[in-house]
């Protein structure tokens, strides 16, 4: 069974990237590995607009999302919530036994910088979590506006999730003053799952040095110590390092600006087509994601039936809505390696399958 993924993660992985992984294993303490690891740094730092190291963690993004709480939260964390992933981050903080406050917005509404300022002004917090692009509902918050507020609170370490946005638009870590920037492999970077990235500021490292019970696997200080030797704390997922090397070469060849423009263009093409069929965007106007579109099922079609036709006749799948939004929304990814041609073909399939799709019961 072979079909193409247009769900917002994991997404389709190119033949080139898949082939890049099929290489002999090397020892993770060998000079070959050190060369591989160090060779990845400039490309990763360019993607994150940072001078800080970018650590590589063999885990999905949740590993470093949870692990970061262990490293920087001594007092209390403010969890900004506007969708499934950001809601869960609060749950994870509480499971970790951290003091945590939920700053809630409706799913699809962006995180309001003024509400963040008001809460941080209480002085109760030493860390904050923000998801830049809430994949569950296709809502992209205004990161520069949020970081402008956070820079007023230098004792609050910012942990920013860019899992489904990094490389699709500029996220200028150092310029914005982001302390911890997190991403993952299987979303906007179009790699298989299993590798995550985190770049940690000096300020966040200093904080970690003073926080007890950081554990081992996600300890920033272990990452830093090993980074200085061109290595990872434990045996990493080496095939994905090869995939990353290949992917960073692709990104360099395309050029960042061209990559950003491509994402914006393809995102708009999908949006224009779906709008022409009478649907509306689910997130608040002006805050739609650039890597996926989450549409409200305002026409009342049977989304599951549509997706079934797409899969059986057109060999592709979209997403039928996340969690409580199942059937009420649908999501279509345009992140990664999509081109004008692949998106045009997608739109043709969507159109053809939609003509056969019944209304929801
Ligand atoms: C997918 C996703 C995650 C979780 O990633 P895993 O790789 O499943 O751990 C976190 N945040 C966002 C915004 C995501 O889209």
Separation of 187 CA from ligand 1 center, angstroms? 8
Our answer on whether the CB atom of 83 is closer than 6 Å to any ligand 1 atom is no
Fold of 4-10+255-355: 3.90.1150
DSSP helix/strand/coil, 288: strand
Hey, do 4-10+255-355 and 15-252 end up sharing a CATH topology, with the first three levels equal?
A: no
Dist. CA 45 → ligand 1 center (Å)? 21
CA–centroid distance, 276 to ligand 1, in Å, is: 30
Compute CA distances 192 → 2, 150, 276, whole Å: 16, 33, 33
| CA–centroid distance, residue 85 to ligand 1 (Å) | 7
Mean pLDDT across the chain, nearest whole number? 98
Which residue do the tokens 């003053």 mark? 177
Produce one character per residue of 184-200: b if its CB has 16 or more CB atoms within 10 Å, e if not.
bbbbbbbbbbbbbbbbb
Give residue 361's pLDDT.
Answer: 85
Tell me the average pLDDT across 268-286. Answer: 98
pLDDT (average), residues 327-349: 98
Task: Look at residue 141 in the predicted model and tell me its pLDDT.
Answer: 98
200 alpha carbon – ligand 1 mean position (Å):
18
Of residues 138, 136, 134, 142, the one with CA closest to residue 162: 134
CB of 89 closer than 6 angstroms to any ligand 1 atom: no
The residue nearest atom 5 of ligand 1, judged by CA position, is 61
Say if residue 143 is preceded by a cis peptide, omega within 30 of 0: no
65-89 pLDDT, tens digit each: 999 999 999 999 999 999 999 999 9
Ligand 1 nearest-atom number relative to CA 9: 1
Q: 166 falls in which pLDDT band (50, 70, 90)?
A: very high
Closest-lying ligand 1 atom to the alpha carbon of residue 136 = 15
How many Cβ atoms from other residues are within 10 Å of residue 329's Cβ?
27
Q: What DSSP state is assigned to residue 358?
A: P
The predicted pLDDT at position 1 comes to 67
What whole-number distance in Å separates Cα of residue 130 and Cα of residue 116?
10
Domain coordinates in residue numbering, the chain: 4-10+255-355, 15-252
Structure tokens at 182: 């997190």
Distance 163 CA to ligand 1 centre (A): 6
CATH topology of domain 15-252: 3.40.640
> What is the band of 27 on the pLDDT scale with cuts at 50, 70, 90?
very high
CA 154 to chain centre: 25
- Tell me if 62 CB under 6 Å of ligand 1: yes
Q: How many C-beta atoms surround the C-beta of residue 350 within 10 A?
A: 22
Q: How many residues does the chain have?
A: 361
Residue 60 zone, left/alpha/beta (φ > 0; ψ -120 to 50; rest): beta
* pLDDT tens-place string over residues 172-230: 999 999 999 999 999 999 999 999 999 999 999 999 999 999 999 999 999 999 999 99
User: Does the Cβ of 64 fall within 6 Å of ligand 1?
Assistant: no
Ligand 1 binding pocket mutation candidate from 64, 84, 110, 161 (most atoms within 8 A of CB): 161
Give the β-pairing of 157-161 and 4-5: unpaired
Is pLDDT above 70 for 104? Answer: yes
């Amino acid at each position: 069974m072979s079909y193409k993924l247009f769900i917002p993660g994991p997404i389709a992985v190119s033949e080139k990237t898949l082939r890049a992984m099929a290489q002999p294993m090397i020892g993770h303490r060998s000079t070959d590995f050190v060369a591989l690891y160090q060779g990845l740094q400039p490309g990763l730092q360019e993607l994150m607009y940072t001078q800080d190291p970018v650590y590589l963690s063999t885990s999905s993004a949740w590993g470093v999302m949870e692990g970061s709480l262990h490293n920087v939260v001594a007092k209390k964390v403010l969890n900004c919530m506007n969708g499934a992933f950001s809601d869960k981050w609060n749950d994870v903080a509480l499971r970790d036994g951290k003091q945590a406050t939920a700053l809630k917005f409706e799913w699809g509404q962006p995180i309001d910088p003024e509400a963040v300022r008001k809460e941080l002004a209480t002085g109760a917090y030493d860390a904050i979590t923000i998801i830049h692009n809430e994949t569950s509902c296709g809502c992209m918050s205004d990161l520069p506006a949020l970081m402008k507020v956070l820079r007023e609170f230098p004792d609050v370490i910012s942990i920013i999730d860019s899992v489904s946005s990094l490389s699709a638009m500029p996220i200028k870590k150092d310029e914005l003053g982001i302390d911890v920037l997190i991403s993952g492999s299987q979303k906007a970077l179009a790699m298989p799952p299993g590798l995550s990235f985190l770049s940690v500021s000096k300020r966040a490292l200093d904080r970690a040095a003073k926080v007890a019970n950081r554990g081992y696997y996600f300890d920033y200080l272990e990452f830093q110590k090993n980074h200085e030797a061109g290595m990872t704390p434990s045996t990493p997922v080496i095939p994905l390092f090869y995939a990353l090397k290949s992917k960073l070469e692709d990104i360099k060849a395309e050029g960042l600006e061209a990559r950003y423009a491509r994402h914006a263009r393809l995102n708009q093409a999908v949006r224009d087509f779906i709008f022409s069929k009478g649907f509306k965007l689910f997130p608040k106007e002006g805050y739609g994601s650039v890597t996926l579109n989450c549409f409200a099922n305002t026409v009342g079609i049977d989304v599951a039936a549509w997706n079934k036709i797409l899969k059986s006749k057109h060999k592709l799948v979209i997403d039928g809505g996340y969690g409580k939004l199942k059937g009420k929304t649908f999501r279509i990814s345009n992140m990664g390696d999509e081109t004008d041609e692949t998106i045009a073909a997608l739109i043709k399939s969507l159109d053809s399958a939609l003509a056969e799709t019944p209304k929801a019961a």
